[in-house]
Amino acid sequence: MTGWDRFTDSFFNARVMAEYLPKIIDGFWLTVWLALLIIATGLVLGLALALLRAFGIRPLNWLIVFAVDLFRALPPLVIIVLLYFGLPNAGVELSGFVASWLALTLVLMAFAEEIFWAGITSVPKGQWEAARSTGLGFLQTLAYVVLPQALRITIPPLTNRTIAITKGTALASVVAVPDILGAANAGVSFSFNPSPLTLGAIAYLILFFPVVVLGRWIETRFAWKR
Amino acid sequence: MDLFLETFLNWQILREASPILWQGLQATLLLSALVVPLGLAGGVMIAVLSTVQSPWVKWPLRVWVDTFRALPPLVLLVFLFAGLPFVGLDIGAWGSVALGFFLNTGAYYGEILRAGIESIPRGQIEAARSTGLTRGQTMTHVVLPQAVRNVLPDLISNTLEVVKLTSIASVVALPELLFQARQAQSVTYNATPIMAAAVAYFVLLWPVVRLLSRLENRHLAGRR
């Protein structure tokens, strides 16, 4: 076999690809589902924490800041491994899917809180005071004056961070979740041919390439004009 | 509570596992000291290339960068580690990690540095060129120093992510902190070593997170 034949036989083996394509497609939808769950719960929790922080209750804010710092400093894989391999030692069993979802939700929550909070604090104090003096309540000021302005400038950093964290769904393969990478890995070890990995890489590109381009577009579209 | 303490904060087990955890921590530091400069080198190359206006450079470069930004780093790493040996290219765990990080983090650093370079007004480049500096000298002495300063928070933030990302090297059995912690955990059937690794990461990276949080708040607030 020539080098080229060996290359195509290894990475673009049609027979192996046809055999494992259905598994990769299953993995694709699992990855999409996991990513959407993480985005929904992570962003909602992040916004909730940022709003809670706006009330300015000292001990509570320290706690929020600590939780945010914690999940920004810990590598996501360490959190997943701790939840999946560590908790059973204490008698709590989580499935790989739940462990990955929980870990990445906490990470996205932390980053989102930080970004939402920066957005809220970027609204000048004078606007708070003006809104309050026209008779709006604290929550009304937050909802009608501060948040609409704050959210706009959080969109670019939030999009990029969300994309980066949802790519972390590939880590779920480490805890036996049959997502794209998990299915591809299984395919390689059954067929003893790396073509399923090529399929997996293509699947990730189909999923994330448009998202990355979208993120680039959002960054220029929403760029704050100085 | 006792069960929790015994499982997650067991001093006896921590004492037994500490030598192997210490080796892991050293490997993580060494790995970071290897992949951060590699990624930066790739990033500078991409950023400097992106100043070339020709569409023959611009579009392939953009596709290159977006491809490696779209591919999860773990997928790239597994591909290099488990795929390449099939065609006779066995570059081992360290080689796969080095190449994977060069490709992946190089793309991210490249994007950040490109934004930095674009933030430098064209007039400065023209002025530097007209005083007799060559294109290369203008880049190294005029553009890059200011560009780096303008995007410093993003560079630090990305470096933090890179150091955290070294934990995926455990998947290809490179004996860094998380891998060693997993080994110790599976031998002792106790989660204390993983907990200790988490604490080590936190102690190591918390100061960076604090610094970033300050820089980012100032940055966003300054946009008004």
Task: Give me the DSSP letters along A33-83.
Answer: HHHHHHHHHHHHHHHHHHHHHHT--HHHHHHHHHHHHHHHHS-HHHHHHII
B222 pLDDT more than 60? no
With an 8 Å Cβ cutoff, is B214 touching chain A? no
| pLDDT confidence band for B224 (50 / 70 / 90) | very low
Q: Looking at the domain A22-221, which fold is it?
A: MetI-like fold (1.10.3720)
A120 pLDDT more than 70? yes
Instruction: Give the C-alpha separation, B11 to A6, whole Å.
Output: 53
A226 pLDDT more than 50? no
Task: Note whether B158 and B108 are within 8 A (CB).
Answer: yes
| pLDDT confidence band for A98 (50 / 70 / 90) | very high
State chain A's mean pLDDT as an integer. Answer: 92
Compute CA B81 distance to the chain's CA centroid, rounded to the nearest angstrom: 18
Hey, of B5, B157, B164, B219, which one would you mutate to test binding to chain A, going by the most A CBs within 10 A of its CB?
A: B164
With an 8 Å Cβ cutoff, is B9 touching chain A? no
| Average pLDDT, integer, range A109-138 | 92
| pLDDT confidence band for A223 (50 / 70 / 90) | low
CB contacts, 8 Å: A184 with chain B: 78
Q: What is the pLDDT of residues B52-83, one digit of tens each?
A: 889 999 999 999 999 999 999 999 999 999 99
Q: Do B202 and A77 touch (CB under 8 A)?
A: no
| Average pLDDT, integer, range A175-183 | 94
**Nearest chain A Cα distance for residue B23, angstroms:** 17
Q: What is the pLDDT of residues B1-23, one digit of tens each?
A: 777 788 888 888 888 889 999 99
**Nearest chain B Cα distance for residue A40, angstroms:** 20
Beta carbons within 8 Å of A32's beta carbon, 6+ residues apart: A207
What Å distances lie between residue A81 and A173, B168, B186, CA to CA? 11, 11, 12
The domains found in chain B, sorted by start residue, are 2-221 (1.10.3720.10)
**Nearest chain A Cα distance for residue B184, angstroms:** 12
CB contacts, 8 Å: B171 with chain A: 77, 174
Beta carbons within 8 Å of A26's beta carbon, 6+ residues apart: A178, A183
State pTM to two decimals. Answer: 0.91
pLDDT at residue B8 in the model: 83
Q: What is the pLDDT of residues A192-211, one digit of tens each?
A: 999 999 999 999 999 999 99
Instruction: Give the C-alpha separation, B83 to B99, whole Å.
Output: 13
Q: SS3 of B23, please?
A: helix
10 Å Cβ neighbour count for B87? 15
More confident of the two residues B215 and B22: B22
Task: Note whether A195 and B98 are within 8 A (CB).
Answer: no
Q: What is the pLDDT of residues B25-52, one digit of tens each?
A: 999 999 999 999 999 999 999 999 998 8
pLDDT at residue B53 in the model: 86
Question: Counting every residue, how long is chain B?
Answer: 224
The token duo for B129 is 């060129």
CA angle A67, A73, A78 (to 5 degrees): 100
DSSP secondary structure string, A148-183? HHHHHHHHHHHHHHHHHHHHGGGGGGGGT--SHHHH
